[in-house]
């Protein structure tokens, strides 16, 4: 059974700092991994999608890496801003079951202080 873990559960940093969020998963048989952002009481906003054959994806100040063999992904946020404060969720798409099912971690709650 695929399990996804995100560490730390919460992180508080001063504005301008570069930071890394970690995600690990137990089964390397995945189609892809997707990072999301969730603001309080809101839905999920897709940040980056990394296919299983890729090593990393970049979008603006965000860079996500994937090491499928070790079951790890990181989300790097450069020059953090207060507007980056949110919960960041990592999700994998298992090959087992063959559908659009995602398995999520519990998230990392990020607070960027001005």
Radius of gyration of the CA atoms of the chain, in A: 14
Given candidates 93, 108, 110, 112, which one binds other proteins under the rule CB under 8 A?
93
Q: Which one of the spans 12-20, 63-71, 73-81, 96-104 is the region binding other proteins (CB under 8 A)?
A: 96-104
Q: Which one of the spans 19-27, 43-51, 59-67, 71-79 is the region binding other proteins (CB under 8 A)?
A: 43-51
The DSSP bridge partners found for residue 94 are 30
Does 106 engage in binding with other proteins (CB under 8 A)? Answer: yes
Does 46 engage in binding with other proteins (CB under 8 A)? Answer: yes
What is the bridge-based pairing of β-strands 30-38 and 4-7? unpaired
CA angle (92 as vertex; 16, 28 as ends), nearest 5: 110
Measured from the Cβ of residue 7, the count of other Cβ atoms closer than 10 Å reads 12
Does 86 engage in binding with other proteins (CB under 8 A)? Answer: no
Given candidates 66, 91, 110, 112, which one binds other proteins under the rule CB under 8 A?
91
CA distances for 25 relative to 4, 30, 33, 55, 109, angstroms: 4, 10, 10, 15, 19
Q: What residues between 58 and 77 interact with other proteins by CB under 8 A? A: none
The footprint of other proteins (CB under 8 A) covers 31-32, 34, 36, 41-46, 49, 51, 89, 91, 93, 95, 97-107
């Amino acid at each position: 059974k695929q399990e996804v873990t995100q560490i730390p559960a919460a992180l508080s940093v001063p504005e301008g700092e570069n930071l890394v969020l970690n995600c690990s998963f137990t089964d390397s048989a995945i189609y892809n991994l997707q990072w999301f952002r969730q603001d309080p009481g809101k839905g999920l906003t897709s940040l980056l999608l990394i296919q299983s054959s890729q090593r990393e994806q970049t979008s603006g100040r965000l860079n996500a890496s994937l090491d499928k063999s070790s079951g790890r992904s990181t989300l790097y946020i450069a020059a953090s801003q207060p507007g980056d404060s949110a919960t960041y969720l990592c999700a994998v798409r298992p090959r087992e079951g063959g559908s659009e099912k995602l398995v999520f971690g519990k998230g990392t709650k990020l607070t960027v202080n001005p």
